[in-house]
Structure 1
Amino acid sequence: MSQHDEQRRRLLGRLSRQLAYTAPLLALVAGGAALHAAPGADPGAAAFSALDEAPLLLASYHTEAEGEAEAEAEAEAEGEAEGGDGAAVARPEGYSPAYSETGDNPQEMLARGEALYYDTSLSSNGLACASCHGSDGQDMGYNPTFEQPFPHRVAMAANQFGMSEVHADEMVQICMVAPMAAQPLEWGGEALTSLAAYMVEVQKRFAGEPHDL
Structure 2
Amino acid sequence: MSQHDDKRRRLLGRLSQQLAYTAPVLALMAGGAALHATTINASTDSGYGPVSEETLLLASNHAQGEAEAEAEAEGEGEAEGEGEAEGEGEGEAEAEGEGEAEGEAEAGDRSAVERPEGYTPGYSEDGENDPALLALGEELFNDPSLSTTGLSCASCHAGDSGYLETFEQPYPHRVAMGENLFGMETVHADEMVQLCMVSPMAAEALGWDSEELAALSAYVVEVQRRYAGKTHNL
Please report the TM-score for the alignment, with normalisation by the length of structure 2.
0.59
CA contact (8 A) 1:81 1:158 kept: no
1:91 paired residue number = 115
Amino acid at match of 1:110: L
Shift of 1:99: 0.6
The 10-residue stretch of structure 1 (147-156 or 82-91) with the greater mean CA deviation from structure 2:
82-91
Larger relative contact order (C-alpha < 8 A, sep ≥ 6)?
A: 1
Shift of 1:16: 9.3
Q: Structure 1 stretches of 5 or more lacking a match?
A: 1-9, 25-33, 38-48, 63-76
1:127 paired residue number = 151
Amino acid at match of 1:92: P
Residues 208/120 of structure 1: CA separation in 2 closer, same or farther (3 Å cut): same
1:142 paired residue number = 163
User: What RMSD, in angstroms, separates the aligned Cα atoms of the two structures?
Assistant: 3.5
Shift of 1:82: 8.9
Please give the secondary structure, in 2, of the residue aligned with 1:194.
helix
From 102, 123, 130, the equivalent of 2:126 is 102
1:165 paired residue number = 186
1:1-213 equivalences under 5 Å are 14=15, 18=19, 22=24, 56-57=49-50, 83-134=107-158, 138-213=159-234
Identity %: 54
Residues 172/102 of structure 1: CA separation in 2 closer, same or farther (3 Å cut): same
CA contact (8 A) 1:99 1:105 kept: yes
1:69 paired residue number = none
2:70 paired residue number = none
Shift of 1:17: 6.2
Q: Distance in 1 between matches of 2:200 and 2:136?
A: 21
Deviations 1:14-35 (A, max 9, x none): 37962898398xxxxxxxxx97
Q: Distance in 2 between matches of 1:149 and 1:21?
A: 23
Please report the TM-score for the alignment, with normalisation by the length of structure 1.
0.65
Q: Distance in 2 between matches of 1:139 and 1:200?
A: 12
Amino acid at match of 2:145: S
Residues 17/202 of structure 1: CA separation in 2 closer, same or farther (3 Å cut): closer
Amino acid at match of 1:14: L
Please give the secondary structure, in 1, of the residue aligned with 2:24.
helix
CA contact (8 A) 1:109 1:194 kept: yes
Deviations 1:42-75 (A, max 9, x none): xxxxxxx89xxx95245xx99xxxxxxxxxxxxx
Q: Structure 2 stretches of 5 or more lacking a match?
A: 1-10, 27-36, 60-100
Amino acid at match of 2:19: Q
Residues 179/15 of structure 1: CA separation in 2 closer, same or farther (3 Å cut): farther
* Residues paired across the two proteins, number: 158
Larger Rg: 2
Residues 159/120 of structure 1: CA separation in 2 closer, same or farther (3 Å cut): same
